[in-house]
Amino acid sequence: MKKDINKTELESHIRSFIGKKCIYRENELYIHSEIHSVDLQDWEIWIILKDLNSPGFTGKLRRNAENELWKVGASWEAIGIKGEKFGATYSGWTIFFNTQFIKAVCQYAETLNGIKMKDRPKLFLNCVHQLQYKKSFLYIKK
C-alpha cells in the first residue's frame, strides 16, 4: 500500500466489498464468487470468498459442497485497488467487481461447457483481455 493513501479510508473501501459478486482470477483459475468477509489486520489483509458454482468456469477450490469458502491474502504493501479491480502484487490473484464485466464473463463461461477444462484458461484469459481493453466480445474466438 502506498504511504500517501489513508489506511482508514482504504479499510472502509475494502469492507464495502462484502457481499458483492466478483470474478476471482489466480493464474489459470477463474471462479464466479462473492466476497463473504474480510479480515483486516495490522500487517495483512485476508479476503474470504464464496464459490457461486456457476457453470463453465475453470476451477473449483472445494472438494465438497460443505466447503465452499476459501481465503486469499497479502500484506498491505502488496494490495492494489484500481477502479473496480482489486489485487495483490506478487501473489497472482485479482478480483474484478465491475457488474457489466461479471455479467459478460458469466455469459461467456456458459458457452464453454462443451470445451475441455484444460482448454478453458486461455479462452478466459482472452475474454478478460478483450473485455478490459476492447470492451467487446466481438474479437473473442474459441
Q: Tell me how far the alpha carbon of residue 52 is from its chain's centroid.
A: 12
pLDDT tens digit sequence for 14-42: 899 999 999 999 988 899 999 999 999 98
Q: Tell me, yes or no, whether 2 lies in a domain.
A: no
Q: What is the pLDDT of residue 61?
A: 55
Strand order in the sheet with 44-51: 69-75, 44-51, 29-40, 21-26, 93-96, 85-88, 79-82
pLDDT at 105 over 90: yes
**Number of domains present in the structure of the chain:** 1
pLDDT of amino acid 63: 52
Q: What is the pTM of this model?
A: 0.84
Residue 137 neighbours by CB under 8 Å, 6+ apart? 104, 108, 127, 130, 131
Average pLDDT over residues 93-99: 93
Is residue 53 in a domain? yes
More confident call, 67 vs 35: 35
Q: Is residue 102 part of a domain?
A: yes
Domain presence at residue 139: no
55 is a domain residue: yes
On whether residue 30 sits in a domain, the answer given is yes
Looking at residue 103, its pLDDT comes to 93
Helix 99-110 / helix 120-129 crossing angle, nearest 10 deg: 150
Choose the weakest-confidence range: 26-40, 55-69, 108-122.
55-69
Domain membership of residue 140 (yes or no) is: no
pLDDT of residue 58: 80
Assess if residue 141 is contained within a domain.
no
Q: Which domain holds residue 51?
A: 7-134
